[in-house]
Amino acid sequence: MQIIKSFFIGLMLMIPFLKTYASELKDSASFGFDTYSDNNDVQVYSPTFELMKTISKHWLVGIKLRVDAISAASIRLGSSPSLAKPDAQSTASKRAGFDDVRYAPTLFITYDDGENTATVGGYYSTELDYVGKAIFANYTRQLNQGNTVLGIGFSQSADTWSPNNNRTLPKDNRDEQKIDLSVNQLLTPTTSIQFVYSYMNSEGFLSSPYPYMIQNGEFIGFENYPDTRTGHAFAVKGLHYIDDANAMNFSYRYYTDDWDIDSHTVSAEWLHGINDNWMIGARARYYTQTGSNFAKPLGEYSSSDKYVASDYRMTSFDSYDFGIPVTYKPSLESPYSFSFSIDYYWTSDNAYIQNWFGESNIQAVYTTIRVNYEF
């Protein structure tokens, strides 16, 4: 199932998210449960656990455990299934109750002396036909009495395919490097701005091993992308304190790569403190991208094409997101805090989505819930 593989592939560029705030290291634990559900019957349930323990004044070790249980048994093939079909053999990875389950532990250690913060770690994820391994490191340094913060992050993944349709891939690896450089600057007592540049490089088998294209009864070929990809992203982000009850954050990102995919992402969020215990907000996000230089309109592929795409992400489309975050802390002294978020995400109409899923666009709802405890 292409969508399942896509879910896991998407994780590989993701440096495990480790927030760095300019504050003292604390012992903490959190339990969470994330969900994702869309109009193509894809459902993902992700229980999470995180434990951070200081081992000295400046050192902290952490572990994060995440499980992605995915159900997508009733994916529809679309109204034009003769154009592109998923390989039915991929369902061999089914497990009782879910179509696939991914386990992903992350271990890391952090040093923080107030001016310098450094984290190194690694993660490992496993499922029946894919193993992901990665190491990552990031470092931030405060300058100018904390008005300026420079950051650098690096990650390297080395993943391995073992497709369950017995297909022999031209390469079974998927290796990715990512470097993030950032500068954060306080502008006024109520406003800060951040600039980020990211360099991303991928090598190996970068498409999914399962989807293939059939056109007018002719087998065109399996989905196949170039085996290297280099991307760059520039982002600017800002924070503004409006008054004691209100604040907002915003971001803009430009992305470009050597597959000729360009994108623009704009996001803005407003947060409102109802009282000392409750905070609620609203966030809107808009995304637009161009198509890759090898994706063609459906029906125009030929068996002589070197590259074949059946994934709508290789074509141009827009997406939108609107979400509501809520946090609750019983009291200022309480070691407990709770958070919840719900987002509605939808794409513009797209012929590839129509062909694959039988829906004109993708509509999804995703949620997060966390209980945090500091001790």
Partner 1 sequence: MKITLSMKLLFLALIFLFNGCSDKLVRVMPYEKEHFADPKMSLSPLAERAEHEGHIFLIREASAGGDSAYQGGCGCR
**Which residues within the stretch 111-130 sit at the binding site for partner 1 (CB under 8 A)?**
114, 117, 119
- Do residues 219 and 229 make contact, with C-beta atoms less than 8 angstroms apart? no
Pick 11 or 134: Cβ nearer partner 1: 11
Rule CB under 8 A: say whether 13 interacts with partner 1.
yes
Write down the least CB distance from residue 5 to partner 1, Å: 10
SS (H, E, C) 23-61: CCCCCEEEEEEEEEEECCCCEEEEEEEEEEEECCCCEEE
Selected binder of partner 1 within 173, 190, 293, 334 (CB under 8 A) = 190
Per-residue DSSP letter, 292: P
Q: Quote the radius of gyration of the chain (alpha carbons, Å).
A: 22
Rule CB under 8 A: say whether 200 interacts with partner 1.
yes
Pick 96 or 243: Cβ nearer partner 1: 243
Rule CB under 8 A: say whether 375 interacts with partner 1.
no
Selected binder of partner 1 within 93, 140, 157, 224 (CB under 8 A) = 140
Q: What whole-number distance in Å separates Cα of residue 59 and Cα of residue 119?
A: 10
Region near partner 1 per CB under 8 A, out of 80-88, 163-171, 203-211, 279-287? 279-287
Rule CB under 8 A: say whether 271 interacts with partner 1.
yes
Rule CB under 8 A: say whether 47 interacts with partner 1.
no
**HSE-CB of 269 using CA atoms within 13 angstroms:** 20
Rule CB under 8 A: say whether 156 interacts with partner 1.
no
Pick 151 or 358: Cβ nearer partner 1: 151
In one-letter notation, the amino acid at residue 367 is: T
Write down the least CB distance from residue 27 to partner 1, Å: 16
Rule CB under 8 A: say whether 1 interacts with partner 1.
no
Selected binder of partner 1 within 40, 90, 125, 138 (CB under 8 A) = 138
Selected binder of partner 1 within 60, 84, 279, 308 (CB under 8 A) = 279
Residues 6+ apart with CB under 8 A from 258: 228, 229, 230, 231
Selected binder of partner 1 within 86, 125, 178, 301 (CB under 8 A) = 178
- Do residues 88 and 2 make contact, with C-beta atoms less than 8 angstroms apart? no
Number of residues that bind partner 1 (CB under 8 A): 104
- Do residues 47 and 23 make contact, with C-beta atoms less than 8 angstroms apart? no
Region near partner 1 per CB under 8 A, out of 82-90, 167-175, 206-214, 285-293? 285-293
Write down the least CB distance from residue 77 to partner 1, Å: 19
Residues 6+ apart with CB under 8 A from 64: 16, 48, 49, 50, 105, 106, 108, 123
Write down the least CB distance from residue 338 to partner 1, Å: 11
Nearest one of 254, 258, 323, 341 to 289, comparing CA atoms: 254
Tokens of 14: 């993701």
Edge-to-edge strand ranges of the sheet holding 84-85: 84-85, 212-215, 218-222
Give the SS3 label for residue 291: coil
For 277: left if phi > 0, alpha if psi spans -120 to 50, otherwise beta; the answer is alpha
Q: Which of residues 308-367 bind partner 1 (CB under 8 A)?
A: 313-314, 319, 321, 323, 325, 327, 339, 341, 343, 345, 347, 362, 364, 366
Interface mask (CB under 8 A) for partner 1, residues 226-255, using x and -?
Answer: -----xxxxx-x-x-x----xx-x-x-xxx
Pick 15 or 84: Cβ nearer partner 1: 15
